[in-house]
Chain A
Amino acid sequence: MARGLFLRLVLSALCAAGAAAFLYHDYCVLGAGPAGLQAAYFLQRAGRDYVVFERSHAPGSFFAIYPRHRKLISINKRHTGKSNSEFNLRHDWNSLLSHEPRLLFRRYSRQFFPHADAMVRYLEDFAAMLGLRIRYDTAIVHVTLEKDPRAWNGHYFVLSDQNRQSYKCSCLLVATGTWVPNVVNFPGSEYVEGYETVSTNPEDFAGQTVLILGRGNSAFETAENILGVTNFIHMVSRSRVRLSWATHYVGDLRAINNGLLDTYQLKSLDGLLEGDLEDLAIVKDKKGKLHITLRFYLENRNTSAGIDGITLPQDELDNFATRAPYDRVIRCLGWKFDFSIYNRMMPGRGNKSKYPQIKPSYESRGTRGLFVLGTASHSVDFRKSAGGFIHGFRYTTRAVHRLLENRHHGVPWPSAVYPITQLTNSIIKRVNEASGLYQMFSVLADIILLRENATAFEYLEEYPVGILAELETQTGRKAPAGLFVVIMEYGRNFSGDDKDVFYYNRAVGEAQHAWQSNFLHPVIYYYKRLPTEREMRLHPPDWPLPRPDAIHHIVEDFLTDWTAPNAHILPLRRFLENCLSTDLRNFFAESCFLFALTRQKLPPFCQQGYARMQGLTGSERLRRHAVEAGLLEDYAVTDFSGDKLPDSRQGSHDQLLRDHVIPLRPLHHLVNAKDEF
């Protein structure tokens, strides 16, 4: 804080000297979309000096146009049967995080798949109600670095807008999303209409034959809209269709848009084709019909002959699939990040260059102090988790904010310290309600740092596991005596493009086979010490983390309710006990009394409860249950002739004797935990 103030003083002095006419902020956020607003919210709550630049006049300008057919495919589940607000966020994919209960998306739309206008309204309210500092109508057209050893990161970011106004920031948060349409160039691509501008009125397509390029949700959404009025629709793409229910990746084709799959497989004229768009060529005939041919043929053509001189594939192969001419060709190939303004300080991701290259901490690989948030940060978990979508990046944005708080303001990652007796409970609580762990599975994890002697632990929520090795510097917390990593995972070989995800016995019901669980379930890694960066780099490709010293899977659950005492909590307790080499059972005060007088050491539960005069007395009825289970000895019964025992106890005495012969076992194995009957 003091440091920030000092900087500001220095900077204002510079301004006064008239060195340059710029405005300074500690944080500059580019884009007032969901991620930009989310970042602004956390900066505002923390009292930071920040500004958001938005080129449009209102927040969420992308949603004002897209999706073109106005139906959001992020679910807006308004009822879950539960009142737990954290749990309910697991099924609310549109809300941003805030303390304000009015800013829940279910107050903005009643539809399960809401109208995009609702999102625009929501984002406007979010910005207005929380009083976020946004400069609208300000398009940042150029970003440069200005070296300065006094700056947080050794340089300032200098931003200039369309009016040549300059801004200077210590930290740049890029939340501009991916909005540049992907375009393919091939002969005849001038005849192709773009998703951005194509008509959304089905009437315009009546009686037409349509070819759609692309196989993402926008392509299917476009097809869905005109499916009922066209002659037929063909869809071309290099890759095969990926169904989100088969890949559990929300970016793949969602069932709500997949009407074309039906009509294709039922031979209702529509169809899917695979082929590389780069090899394609389109020629227009005299009637204005569009013919598909190959670039290869065009290269050898007789230029003077016009359309008649061009070889069409059907000339050689008379049953060529797309030999019928099309009335329209529509391109729906998605978007990429706008790299143009960064002056090479932000390299793209490999060849694809759809996303900027960033580290698992969301910081640019090239430039320190530059962070990418929101959809553009999806390279971290592309085709794996939800980091490219609101319900994912709202958590990663919070994580970035926490990293920055620690790095620049000395505010360590928020944590709570509990006695070791609360270990099982804290994990069970989190895996049952935490939404960040659930949505950002395999990316964000809760970290439990053990204190010396394992008498207490520190709980950190939703830390990016990709930077586990840097935990101590990134969070300002110490890991002196080992740690647990609580994360959620799908089964390794369960889902994917080619997999049958509905095979019999796909769900595991028994705790002892939990490691074979297929559906999303909690996994706990135990490390005796923090993994090193080298170990992190070399971790097995299928695993989110390096090999732990021990691992525990909580068996998948049909209801995602992991509170069953025998199937979920008991095996977890045994795992934790064996990692910590202690006994984590609960005891009634009477047992603690016995231990206190007959042993030199007490189990943690008695140590931290009974010995501090907080013993668990328990009702007579419960103690009797424990006696019947053979887990508590009833010493009163040996003195049966005694005068103090009422007659009603006779029953329990007999019961006890019987139980000594045949110990009653819990009937948990009769409980069916699987999704079959």
Chain B
Amino acid sequence: MAALEDRWVSSFSFLLFCAVSIPILGSASLVQELSPHEYFSGLQANKASLAYFSRTVSPGAQPFLEQIENSVEALHDYGISVVKVKCPKEDVSRYCGKENALRKAYLFRGNVLIREFPTDALFDVNSIVANVLFALLFHEVKYVETLTDLQNIENALKGKSNMVFAYVPATGTAEHRAVMEVAFVYGTVHQFVLTTEATLLKDAGNDPDVSSAQLLFCHCQQATDLAQPCRRTPLEHDLTVLNIHRHLKLMGAPLVTEVAEDPEKVSTVHLQLGLPLVFILSQKETYEADRRTAEFLAWKLLGKAGVAILSRDVVDLNILRRSNIALKTPDEGVPIKYLVLEDTEEVITLVEDKSKVKQIQENEDEDEEDEDEKENDDQDVQDDQVVEAVSRDKKRELPLDQILTLTEETFHSAMLEAAQTVVLFYASWEAVSLVVLQSYTEVADHLKGTQGILLSRVNCWDWPGVCTMENVTQFPTIKIYKKGEQPITYNGMLGTEELTSFIMLSQVSCPLKLATIDEAERYLSGELPSELSSYQHSLVLGVFSTATSKVREAFTEAGSILSGHVTTGIYFEDDVLALSHKYAVSPPALLLARSSSQSIEGISLSKQSAQDIVQMIRYELLDVFPEITVQNLPHYLQLRKPFLIFFSDGDIGQIESKEMLKLAKGRSQQAFVSCWLNLKNTPVGRGVLKAYFATIPSLPALVWVNLHAGGQVFKFPSEQSITEMNILSWLEKLKAGLEIPSSTLSEEDWKPPLPAYNFLQMMEAAGPEFTLHTSSHQEDRREQQQLEGSEEKATVREEPIEEARVKAEKAQGPGRDLRGTAPRLAGREKQARRHSEL
């Protein structure tokens, strides 16, 4: 950014030097001192000079002289020399003779006096430059006081040239100077109009804030209608030479640039000035309409972005056929983004969002340059969403009365009380623990009145012994204790619903041994076990012949591993074949009933180890075409396959659902996860879409994401209808590399969000003082002894400093004065020294 600004500065000053030829006269930096005769005889015809006359140095003029001297260089840039004329004592001429003439400065062009300034109008460099230029550019910059004057000028300009209308609250200000300096260069190109009347500004109807200066560019050259005022584009930044110059350059650029080359190579004024460039991708057939769109957009974006129209017939672009907009940012190395947008509003939001972000970044950059303190402040600000959320909630008392608080003493006896005791081991200072504790209270609420379940908690910060004994190595840990059994550690989502379900399902010891076919059927229909009959859940029945004992053991083990997540039953009576025939399997086999559907599926069991069976059951229980949610995504992520996601704002349409299900069940089922996402249920899906397409595309949208391989994102063409055939052929094209990704997921590592305090460096910086503390003391003492005579004075002198320090600290405001801030620490050093001396 800084480099860019430098570029403007240099180009601007280059302009300046071209516009005016500057005769160099003597030393540039010093005020010339001449006698009246020398001065008047040396005046050149077209040369402006600012002169003041002095007899002796009068004390009142001193500050004025300083300011004049400071502005010598600035005025020199405009070819104006500054001369101090020394009046001889006996001189009684016009300029030297009168006492009050000596309190003035005179502006000459050649030997013509243009204006005389009272010295109090020239109070600083800004006012000197502004007033001098104002006087010289009398024609180029018109000063108006009434609306009529303004309108007259405007009307006169229509069809001829453009107008720059500036409002400054007062003349002689920095803004005034900036306007004058720009007018010096552009005065011949545009008509400049200046006012200090706020009413004129109000009438122009732009910004009611009259306390700050404003500048409007009035497009009068193209205006044809005399009745209508010219179109205006306000400068939305502070009035500085750079900003005005930039604004005028932008206004002068063509409204819409015609492009007939690779957009990557295109460079316009906008890009050079750090603004984005929007390409309208056009075709021969639609060119006229596109041109109108481009112009419309260009007016909307004037001063914020450039607009170019690119004909695809001329340039062969390797981009999606249906992309209609491209966005090029001024940042180097950022590739052009091709987008499919439907409304010009979308383009405007896109550009404005970008520039907003950019502006914030710029501000941050400036802040960093300003002072390091700011950076430290950021370091101090909590950026952990979980910790911050918990901190903000710490004043609220949790409704913990449903949850038994256990201690080292009561822990073991409590485990004997209920059939099933749930224990949350947590640390009261730890944020994640406290989040889970909140969910836990909600679980307690859900389970209120359920027989045989006791919810309890142990604060490991109070009772580390029991936590160590129970093998709790991290916080939070949730365990379920059942009489006479090994405790089960909960390893699911730390959320209310999931935990509630786990506790409910854990009531039943798995796998449940079923004794008759009737029991098995009741189990499959969810009637058994009776504790869970009203609770919807997925279940698995293992069907074994009496002989297959090894697989049965493995299944039994798998059942207990899955306990709490899935209920499992086991059947291996003599009449097992009757049951297995019904579901068209032969033992060993599994019968699955998903919570989401009524049907029962039979799968033959070929795996031998418990872990494999667990994996298999988990896999089989996954839906074919699930609605993806925050809760269930991890299950599907584990498959490590690409995702085909149907984003829908609300429920999925029946047709789409049918087609997608067909697709999901089809031969390609093994290759990818097809799923849908309901933005109403999972609003964060909008964040996903924004990340993919920069804005939210029209919904529904079908998206292919290569999550684990390359991260490319493709969008199914919205003009095609969602049918199995269309999707399959699109997928073929993807595979063949014929489609161009809309975006690619970042593969950036997760780096530290902010730097840490560099204590090592701080200690080193303070090094000598810090480590050689004692020896510096001795030196001080020696000095003190030498100065013994003046000791009293020294103390007297020191006291006001001390007071001032205290005052300074107080002045930092309440709250701050209690902090060990840097000045205080410095003060402490001072104090420590004093203590040792006394």
* A residues in contact (CB < 8 Å) with B: 82-86, 416, 418-419, 422, 425, 428-429, 432-433, 492-493, 498, 500, 503-516, 542, 547-548, 550-553, 563, 565-566, 569-571, 573-575, 577-578, 581-583, 585-591, 593-594, 596-604, 609-619, 621-623, 625-626, 628-629, 631-636, 638-639, 642, 644, 665-666, 668-670, 672, 674, 676
Q: Is the beta-carbon distance between A639 and B748 smaller than 8 angstroms?
A: no
A and B contact pairs by CB, cutoff 8 A, 11 listed: A82-B462, A83-B407, A432-B461, A500-B836, A570-B387, A597-B705, A604-B750, A610-B634, A615-B494, A617-B494, A617-B630
**Would B821 and A425 count as touching, CB distance under 8 A?**
no
The reply to whether A635 and B751 form a contact with Cβ atoms under 8 Å apart is: no
Query: Is B684 engaged at the interface, CB distance under 8 Å to the other chain?
Result: yes
The answer, yes or no, to whether B533 is at the interface (CB within 8 Å) is: no
Give Cα distance in the complex from A672 to B763, angstroms. Answer: 24
* B463 lies within 8 A of A621 (CB): no
Given contacts A548-B760, A611-B637, A618-B386, contact A599 B462 (CB under 8 A): no
Residues of B within 8 A of A589 (CB): 493, 495, 630-631
- A233 to B711 alpha-carbon distance, docked (Å): 86
How far, in Å, is A243 (CB) from chain B's closest CB? 16
Which residue in A498, A548, A587, A596 is a CB contact (below 8 Å) of B386?
Answer: A587
Chain B stretch 409-467: residues in CB contact (< 8 A) with chain A: 427, 429-432, 435-436, 438-439, 442, 461-465
Q: Using known A-B contacts A617-B496, A629-B389, determine if residue A674 contacts B750 with beta carbons closer than 8 Å.
A: no
Please indicate the chain A residues that have their CB under 8 angstroms from the CB of B429 in the complex.
Answer: 428, 432, 563
Contact B438 A616 (CB under 8 A): no
B726 within 8 A of partner (CB): no
Chain B positions within 8 Å of A542 at CB level: 771
With the chains together, A370 CA to B496 CA distance in Å? Answer: 58
Give me the interface of B with A, judged by CB distance under 8 Å: 376, 379-393, 407-408, 427, 429-432, 435-436, 438-439, 442, 461-465, 473-475, 491-496, 498, 630-631, 633-635, 637-638, 643, 645, 649, 679-680, 682-688, 691-692, 705, 707-708, 711, 745-760, 762-763, 770-771, 773-774, 815-816, 818-822, 824-825, 827-828, 831-832, 835-836
Q: Assess the A615–B634 pair: CB atoms within 8 A.
A: yes
- Which among B429, B475, B753, B754 has the greatest number of chain A C-beta atoms within 10 A? B429
Q: Contact check: which of A551, A590, A612, A616 meets B436 at CB < 8 Å?
A: A616
The CA-CA distance from A573 to B13 in the complex, in Å, is 50
Contact status B760-A666, CB under 8 Å: no
Partner of A84, one of B461, B633, B684: B461
Known: A548-B760, A629-B385. A611 touches B634 (CB 8 A): yes
Known contacts A515-B763, A578-B756, A626-B386; decide if A596 and B684 are in contact (CB<8 Å). Answer: no
Task: Report yes or no: A511 in contact with B380, Cβ–Cβ below 8 A.
Answer: yes
Instruction: Write out the residue numbers on chain B whose beta carbons fall within 8 Å of the beta carbon of A82.
Output: 462
Q: Are A590 and B496 in contact (CB under 8 A)?
A: no
Asked whether, in the complex, the Cβ of B752 is within 8 Å of the Cβ of A578, the reply is yes
Q: B637 to chain A: which residues have CB within 8 Å?
A: 596, 611
In the complex, the answer to whether A669 meets B473 with C-beta atoms within 8 Å is: no
Task: Considering the complex, give the chain B residue whose CB is closest to the CB of A523.
Answer: B759
Q: How far is the CA of A629 from the CA of B820 in the complex (A)?
A: 26
A503 lies within 8 A of B380 (CB): no
Asked whether, in the complex, the Cβ of A625 is within 8 Å of the Cβ of B750, the reply is no
CB-contact partner of A83 in B442, B462, B679, under 8 A: B462
Asked if B832 contacts A503 (CB within 8 A), the reply is yes
Is there an interface contact between B430 and A669, defined as CB atoms closer than 8 Å? no
Q: Is the CB of B464 within 8 A of A84?
A: yes
Q: Which residues of B contact A629 (CB under 8 A)?
A: 382, 385, 388-389, 392
A631 nearest in chain B by CB position = B385
Number of A-B contacts (CB under 8 A): 312
Task: Collect the chain B residues with CB atoms within 8 Å of residue A500's CB.
Answer: 832, 835-836
Interface pair A578/B474, CB less than 8 Å apart = no
Contact A666 B391 (CB under 8 A): yes
- A127 to B776, alpha carbons, bound, how many Å? 54
Question: In angstroms, how far is the closest chain B Cβ from the Cβ of A459?
Answer: 9
Given A551-B759, A586-B387, A615-B493, A601 contacting B748 (CB threshold 8 A):
yes
* A665 cross-chain contacts in B, Cβ below 8 A: 381
Contact A585 B753, CB 8 Å, known A618-B439, A629-B392 = yes
Lowest 8 A-B CB distances belong to which pairs? A617-B495, A563-B429, A577-B752, A586-B386, A631-B385, A583-B750, A636-B683, A598-B691
The residues of A that contact B430 with a CB separation of less than 8 Å are 425, 428
Determine the residue in chain B with the shortest Cβ distance to A517: B820
Q: Which of B387, B390, B391, B819 has a CB less than 8 Å from the CB of A669?
A: B819
Q: Once the chains bind, are A628 and B773 in contact (CB under 8 Å)?
A: no
User: How many Å from the CB of A228 to the closest CB on chain B?
Assistant: 33
Contacts of A578 in B (CB 8 A): 752, 755-756
Is B688 a contact partner of A598 (Cβ separation < 8 A)? yes
Given A617-B498, A617-B631, A635-B686, decide whether A416 and B473 contact each other with a Cβ distance below 8 A: yes
Distance A365 CA – B383 CA, assembled complex (angstroms): 51
Identify which of A83, A603, A639, A676 contacts B818 (C-beta below 8 A): A676
Q: Report the separation of the CA atoms of residues A82 and B460 in the bound assembly, to the nearest whole angstrom.
A: 12
Within 8 Å CB of A666, what residues of B? Answer: 381-382, 388, 391
Shortest CB–CB separation between residue B718 and chain A, in angstroms?
A: 19
Chain B residues whose CB sits within 8 angstroms of the CB of A614 once the complex forms: 491-494
Closest to B396 in A: A621
Q: Is the CB of A492 within 8 A of B683?
A: no
With both chains docked as a complex, state the minimum distance between the C-beta of B680 and any C-beta of chain A, in angstroms: 5
Q: Do residues B380 and A570 form an inter-chain contact, with CB atoms below 8 A?
A: yes
A643 CB to nearest chain B CB (Å): 8
Verify B692–A598 contact, CB threshold 8 A: yes
- Contact partners of A574 in chain B: CB under 8 A: 379, 752, 754-757
Residue of B nearest to A586 (CB): B386
Chain B residue nearest in CB terms to A583: B750
- Chain A residues near B751 (CB-CB < 8 A): 581-583
B385, B436, B835 — most chain A CB neighbours (10 Å): B385
Knowing A513-B820, A565-B382, A611-B634, the reply to whether A618 touches B832 (Cβ < 8 A) is: no
Q: Which of A505, A597, A610 has the most CB of B within 10 A?
A: A597
Residue of A nearest to B384 (CB): A585
**Set of chain A residues within 8 Å of B816, measured between Cβ atoms:** 669
- Give Cα A433 to B461, complex, Å: 8
**Chain A residue contacts of B707, Cβ below 8 A:** 596-597, 600
Beyond A498-B836, A616-B386, is A577–B473 a contact (Cβ under 8 Å)?
Answer: no
B815 touching A669, Cβ below 8 Å: yes
A601 pairs with B750, CB closer than 8 A:
yes
Q: How far is the CB of B493 from chain A (nearest CB, A)?
A: 5
Q: Which residues of A contact B819 (CB under 8 A)?
A: 509-510, 669, 672
Determine whether the beta carbon of A602 is less than 8 Å from that of B750: yes
Say whether B464 contacts A590, CB under 8 Å: no
State the Cβ distance, B776 to closest chain A Cβ, in Å: 11
Query: When A425-B430, A602-B750, A668-B380 are in contact, do A516 and B825 touch as well, CB less than 8 Å?
Result: yes
Do A635 and B687 touch (CB < 8 A)? Answer: yes
A510 to B828, CA, bound (A): 15
B680 is contacted by which of A513, A619, A626, A642 (Cβ under 8 Å)? Answer: A642
Known: A566-B380, A602-B750, A604-B750. A631 touches B634 (CB 8 A): no
Known: A425-B427, A552-B757, A614-B492. 18 other contacts (CB 8 A): A418-B473, A429-B461, A500-B836, A506-B828, A512-B376, A512-B379, A514-B759, A548-B760, A585-B385, A586-B385, A588-B386, A590-B630, A609-B494, A610-B634, A615-B634, A629-B385, A638-B686, A669-B380
- Contact across chains for B756 and A575 when beta carbons are under 8 A apart: yes
Chain B residue nearest to A509 (CB atoms) is B820
- B618's nearest neighbour on chain A, judged by CB, is A613
List A contacts of B494 (CB < 8 A): 609, 614-617
Asked if A597 and B688 make an inter-chain contact with CB atoms under 8 angstroms apart, the answer reads: yes
Which residues of B lie under 8 Å from residue A599 when comparing CB positions?
Answer: 711, 745-748
- A38 to B465 alpha-carbon distance, docked (Å): 20
Rounded to whole angstroms, the CA-CA distance of A475 and B746 in the bound complex is: 42
Interface contact A565-B828, CB-CB below 8 Å: no
List of B residues within 8 angstroms of A504 by Cβ? 828, 831
Are A573's CB and B384's CB within 8 A?
yes
- Residues on B with beta carbons closer than 8 Å to the beta carbon of A615: 493-495, 630-631, 634
